């Protein structure tokens, strides 16, 4: 019997999805993760953990599947996330989104199973390309531009990774994807480790490199952003946990990531962008955990990554449902939706309670591990910064999201409740949130790769956590009642992407203009090409435009290459 890598199930599924008609396609999208889960269960209970699917390519040994406890955790996570996401997107009939989402989930699985850096790189790039279509599929001018900016950052991450791998190979002659230490000299492998670190860091959303999250996620389709929130950053956290456990620099960077976004989140109007900032904040906690490097801290970081997919996914789903029904997720234009979307409201509040780490909800079982580890290792400043960040999370994600969308000032929007399949998907996410929070020992903690005897439920943690949460809410209540709280305003807030979007754009246009002129001249001769090769032909086929087509072609070539490599 041959072992099939989890990613391959999704890629083959995507091939079918590309050609299946209508409703069958939607159903098939849901079945792919189910088939994947069956394969995963067979792998685990059959051949068991181990290294599979190794083959020689050129002079390298590529390992498609390193199936250990760390990889298993993320495999389980991604299958569940893909399943819930596909149910949420059941009403989507857009072929591009369905194929992109399936390939995207598959490439995330490929990356976490990759046993060497070259295999990781390939999946890293497929991850970037496939996710782009979840933004572009919204087919607005804004989403196309945001998508390009998103993709540029993903390319930067890929290039850094590629350079890191090349330098590592030059320096050590090895492509091993394992723990490394950041170098402090100027030789190839030292610089290589920094390239790897930054390449992973871009996908983690390190400060100043984070804007693809807050810029790209609000631009995705209502269902696309749910997928986006689940995979890319978690793959990056996986890579960090594989390579840079105990790296002190991560503690500092993580603390910065946990703190700075909450200020932006308070004044941001687009509620999906608020979730983007809150995502950076949560990843900050995970980076701190990986940086501390003790068993408890790393387990905490991984458990939190697991939980984040569900509570953040649930919040993105709730906002996706609001966007679907009302056409907007701007806090300034919403309010009072609890009257027309009561079920979505309740489910959103489960997500909000989970991200805020209320006892019995998932965030409590994982965030407290990182906090305790920080205190145990005497990172005093970091501990109190994280405590502040934890209070801030409740403030901007736990209260602000449900309050401004569903309560607050009644916007008089009377819309239909979210479609049934969306409610089912959200309920699944909510069940995982509550289960992981209430019975962490039964599922979540068993999946953790390192020894773990942590129990979050003692009087100290429960009482102090409730105190900090209730008094954060008190601050919100008092500031609202006294009208000190900043109102939701239609606006944009300048962030690090300003550099690219204002001065950077001017510089780029200086160089791009001549190229564009040449492109226009070439286009004049397009009518001389045989029909099949004309861009117009593709456009009718996929309703995409020039730019998307080019990238689509690259994706297809990469996939074809992968399939050839795998089958050869």
Partner 1 sequence: MSESLDSGAPEPSPEKSYVFDDPKNVQRLLRIFFASCAVLFLIDAIPLVAGLLAEPDAPSALDYKHHAHYGVEHWMGFYAIYGLVGCVALVLLAKVLRKIVMRPESYYGD
Give the binding site for partner 1 (CB under 8 A).
Answer: 141-142, 145, 262-264, 266-267, 336, 338-339, 375-376, 380, 383, 387-388, 391-392, 395, 398-399, 402-403, 406-410, 458-460, 463-481, 484-486, 489-495, 501-502
Q: Cβ 315 to partner 1, closest distance in Å?
A: 14
Structure tokens that stand for 313 in this block: 């996914």
Which residue lies nearer to partner 1 by CB, 501 or 539? 501
Cα–Cα distance for residue pair 275/536, rounded to 1 Å: 38
242 vs 272, which CB is nearer to partner 1?
A: 272
* Closer to partner 1 by Cβ: residue 13 or 456: 456
Residues 6 or more apart in contact with residue 136 via CB below 8 angstroms? 96, 143, 144, 147, 544, 548
Please report how the helices 22-45 and 6-19 are oriented relative to each other, as an axis angle in degrees rounded to 10: 170
Structure tokens at 326: 């009302």
CB 361 within 8 A of CB 435: no
Quick count: other Cβ atoms within 10 Å of Cβ 523? 11
C-alpha Rg value of the chain to the nearest Å: 23
Nearer to partner 1, 479 or 529 (CB): 479
Of 246 and 336, the one with the shorter C-beta distance to partner 1 is 336
First CA to last CA distance, the chain:
17
Question: How far apart are the C-alpha atoms of 237 and 231, rounded to whole Å?
Answer: 10
- Residue that the structure tokens 């569940």 belong to: 80
Place of tokens 């069958």: 24
Integer Cα distance of 71 and 77 in angstroms: 10
* Minimum gap (Å) between residue 358 Cβ and partner 1: 11
**Nearer CB in complex with partner 1: 190/472:** 472
User: Least CB distance from residue 129 to partner 1, whole Å?
Assistant: 23
Smallest gap from residue 352 Cβ to partner 1 (A): 8
225/269 with CB nearer partner 1: 269
Would you give the DSSP letter of residue 174? -
String of b and e for 277-289 (b: at least 16 CB within 10 Å)?
bbbbbbbbbbbbb
Instruction: Give bridge partners of residue 63 from the DSSP assignment.
Output: 54
Tally of CA atoms within 13 A in the half-sphere of 133 that contains its CB: 29
Q: Which residues pair with 50 in a beta bridge?
A: 67
Residue in the structure block whose two tokens are 């995507």? 14
Q: How far is the CB of 475 from partner 1 (least distance, A)?
A: 4
Least spacing, CB of residue 453 vs partner 1, in Å: 15
For the CB of residue 302, give the shortest distance to partner 1 in the complex, in Å.
23
Alpha carbon separation from 533 to 11, 96, 374, 539, 556 (Å, rounded): 26, 20, 59, 11, 16
CB of 148 to partner 1, least distance (A): 11
Minimal distance in Å, beta carbon 312 to partner 1?
A: 18
Kindly tell me which of 446 and 505 has the beta carbon lying closer to partner 1. 505
Tokens in use for 285? 């906690």
Which CB atom, from 181 or from 464, has the smaller least distance to partner 1?
464
Nearer to partner 1 by Cβ, of 460 and 525: the residue is 460
Q: Cβ closer to partner 1: 57 or 471?
A: 471
Q: Which is nearer to partner 1, 121 or 251 (CB)?
A: 251
Closest CA to 318 of 286, 265, 274: 274
In the complex, the smallest distance separating the C-beta of residue 380 from partner 1, rounded to whole angstroms, is 7
Backbone angles phi, psi at 175, to 5 degrees: -110, 20
Q: Which is nearer to partner 1, 420 or 490 (CB)?
A: 490
* Cα–Cα nearest to 224, from 130, 360, 113: 130
**Least distance between partner 1 and beta carbon 225 (Å):** 19
Q: To the nearest whole angstrom, how small is the minimum distance from the Cβ of residue 29 to partner 1?
A: 32
For 547, the enclosing helix (H) or strand (E) is helix 546-567
Q: Which parts of 114-140 fold into alpha helices (H)?
A: 117-136
List beta partners, residue 56: 61
Apex 285 CA angle, 226 and 454, nearest 5: 105
Please, what is the minimum distance in Å from the beta carbon of residue 264 to partner 1? 7
Collapsing DSSP to helix, strand or coil, 179 comes out as coil
């Amino acid at each position: 019997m041959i072992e099939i890598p989890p990613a391959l199930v999704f890629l083959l599924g995507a091939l079918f999805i590309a050609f299946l008609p209508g409703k069958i396609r939607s159903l098939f999208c849901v079945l792919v993760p189910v088939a994947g889960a069956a394969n995963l269960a067979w792998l685990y209970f059959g051949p068991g953990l181990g290294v599979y699917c190794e083959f020689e390519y050129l002079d390298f040994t590529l390992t498609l599947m390193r199936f250990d406890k760390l990889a298993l955790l993320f495999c389980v996570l991604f299958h569940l996330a893909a399943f819930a996401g596909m149910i949420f997107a059941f009403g989507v009939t857009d072929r591009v989104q369905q194929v992109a989402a399936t390939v995207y989930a598959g490439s995330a699985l490929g990356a976490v199973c990759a046993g060497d850096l070259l295999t990781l790189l390939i999946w890293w790039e497929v991850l970037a390309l496939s996710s782009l279509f979840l933004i572009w599929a919204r087919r607005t001018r804004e989403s196309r531009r945001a998508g390009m900016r998103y993709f540029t950052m993903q390319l930067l991450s890929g290039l850094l990774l590629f350079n890191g791998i090349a330098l590592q190979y030059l320096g050590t002659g090895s492509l091993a994807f394992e723990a490394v230490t950041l170098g402090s000299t100027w030789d190839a492998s030292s610089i290589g480790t920094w390239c790897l670190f930054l390449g992973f860091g871009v996908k983690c959303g390190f400060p100043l490199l984070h804007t693809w999250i807050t810029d790209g996620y609000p631009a995705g389709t209502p269902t696309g952003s749910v997928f986006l929130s689940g995979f890319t950053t978690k793959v990056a956290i996986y890579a960090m946990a594989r390579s840079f456990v105990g790296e002190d620099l991560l503690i500092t960077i993580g603390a910065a990531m946990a703190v700075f976004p909450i200020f932006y989140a308070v004044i941001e109007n687009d509620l999906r962008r608020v979730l983007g900032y809150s995502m950076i904040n949560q990843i900050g906690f995970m980076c701190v955990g990986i940086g501390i490097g003790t068993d408890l801290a790393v387990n905490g970081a991984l458990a939190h990554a697991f939980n984040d997919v569900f509570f953040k996914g649930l919040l993105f789903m709730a906002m996706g449902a609001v966007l679907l029904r009302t056409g907007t997720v701007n806090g300034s234009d919403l309010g009072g939706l609890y009257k027309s979307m009561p079920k979505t409201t309740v489910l959103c509040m489960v997500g909000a309670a989970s991200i805020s780490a209320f006892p019995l909800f998932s965030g409590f079982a994982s965030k407290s591990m990182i906090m305790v580890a920080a205190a145990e290792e005497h990172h005093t400043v970091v501990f109190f910064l994280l405590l502040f960040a934890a209070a801030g999370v409740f403030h901007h994600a736990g209260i602000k999201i449900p309050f401004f969308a569903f309560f607050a000032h009644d916007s008089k929007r009377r819309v239909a409740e979210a479609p049934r399949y969306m409610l089912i998907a959200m309920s699944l996410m909510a069940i995982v949130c509550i289960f992981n929070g209430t019975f962490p020992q039964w599922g979540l903690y068993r999946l953790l790769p390192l020894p773990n005897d942590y129990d979050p439920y003692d009087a100290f943690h429960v009482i102090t956590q409730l105190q900090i949460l209730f008094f954060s809410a008190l601050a919100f209540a008092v500031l609202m009642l006294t009208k000190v709280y900043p109102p939701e305003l239609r606006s944009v807030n300048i962030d690090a992407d300003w550099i690219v979007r204002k001065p950077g754009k001017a510089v780029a246009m200086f160089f791009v203009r001549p190229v564009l002129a040449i492109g226009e001249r070439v286009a004049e001769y397009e009518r001389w090409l045989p029909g099949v090769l004309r861009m117009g032909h593709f456009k009718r086929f996929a309703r995409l435009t020039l730019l998307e087509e080019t990238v689509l072609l690259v994706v297809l070539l990469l996939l074809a290459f992968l399939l050839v490599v795998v089958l050869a």
